[in-house]
Chains A and B, each alone.
Chain A
Amino acid sequence: MAEMMALTEATYYILLSLVRPQHGYGIMQQTEALSHGRVHLAAGTLYGALNTLCDKGWIIQLPVEDGSRRKEYRLTEQGRSVLLAEMKRLRELVDNGERILRGE
């Protein structure tokens, strides 16, 4: 049931950023770029979200390369289907809004 609930904007953009492997700071930058500066992920919020998403199995942490302290993450298959379901939900919201405001 919980899987059917709406994602927060932060979760949505984190998942979207992780279609390709990315480290924490990269996720922050990509989110800002994708939303044209509208959505800003603060470090504490992002850190907590990454841990929760790993626990849920929607993303995984990649093995750390030698000499690098940066951890990279990537979307899992499960995460991908959550993302697709959310996009469907968002599309429905917008479609309904447009239809009703157009006065159909």
Chain B
Amino acid sequence: MEKSMTMRKWFWVWEFDKEETWLNEMAMNGWLLESVSFAAYHFVRCEPGTYSIRLEMHPADEEYVSFMEETGAEYIGRMMMWMYFRKKVEDGPFDLFSDIDSRIAHLDRIGKLLQIVGVANLVIGVANAIGPTRLGWINLLCATLLMYGLGRIHGKKEALEKERMLHE
């Protein structure tokens, strides 16, 4: 039986919860996330269902990593702005966020980044479209996609804010 494998898979930023669910399903099936690289996930064999995986958009932060390790989580690695952690199921429940406010703050971080990159693409796209290169449409396409992503993040945030009116 194979001991390790690599899977190529693409998730959009706004699908981070889908990505997390998929990684946990892999762990349920005996494949534990070992490291991440661009659009690729490297797994090793594990006892099915012994680990939980969590991911979070967080700027590079050594302090945060050691804080997480202090609480019993293992740092798997980072890809772009995303940090991946795992924790043994027997060491207790594993969540990164335990209240609505911090979930909203996380979505805000993601939204802010999408907005910056989206606006940059829009500006470059418009500049190129009227310039000599005529390649501006690529940036405009990117900007459209990022704005769509921003809409998806905003939708998730609105649902949480509604909840926040009644609970914390």
On A, residues with C-beta under 8 Å from B are 8-10, 23-25, 28, 40-45, 47-49, 69-71
**Which residues of the other chain, A, contact B64 by a CB distance below 8 angstroms?**
47
A43–B68 touching, CB < 8 Å: yes
Task: Write the nearest CB–CB distance from B76 to chain A, whole angstroms.
Answer: 15
Contacting A at CB under 8 A, from B58-99, are 58, 63-64, 66-68, 70-73, 93, 95-99
* Known contacts A8-B101, A9-B168; A43/B93 CB under 8 A: no
B102–A70 touching, CB < 8 Å: no
**Which residues of the other chain, A, contact B93 by a CB distance below 8 angstroms?**
40
**Which residues of the other chain, B, contact A24 by a CB distance below 8 angstroms?**
67, 70-71
B96–A44 touching, CB < 8 Å: yes
B70–A42 touching, CB < 8 Å: no
Partner of B71 from A9, A28, A48 at Cβ < 8 Å: A28
A42–B101 touching, CB < 8 Å: no
B70–A8 touching, CB < 8 Å: no
Partner of B99 from A9, A28, A69 at Cβ < 8 Å: A9
A45–B102 touching, CB < 8 Å: yes
* Known contacts A10-B99, A41-B98, A45-B102; A69/B71 CB under 8 A: no
**Which residues of the other chain, B, contact A28 by a CB distance below 8 angstroms?**
71
Given contacts A43-B71, A44-B96, A44-B106, 18 further A-B contacts (CB under 8 A): A8-B101, A9-B99, A25-B70, A25-B72, A40-B95, A42-B95, A42-B96, A43-B68, A43-B73, A44-B58, A44-B102, A45-B97, A45-B101, A47-B64, A48-B105, A70-B70, A71-B63, A71-B67
Bound CA–CA A10/B105 (angstroms): 15
B98–A45 touching, CB < 8 Å: yes
* Known contacts A10-B99, A48-B102, A48-B105; A23/B70 CB under 8 A: yes
A-B contact pairs, 26 of them (CB 8 A): A8-B99, A8-B101, A8-B168, A24-B67, A24-B71, A25-B70, A25-B72, A40-B95, A40-B98, A41-B98, A42-B95, A42-B97, A42-B98, A42-B102, A43-B71, A44-B95, A44-B106, A45-B96, A45-B97, A45-B98, A47-B67, A48-B105, A49-B102, A69-B66, A69-B70, A70-B70
B25 CB–A CB distance under 8 Å: no
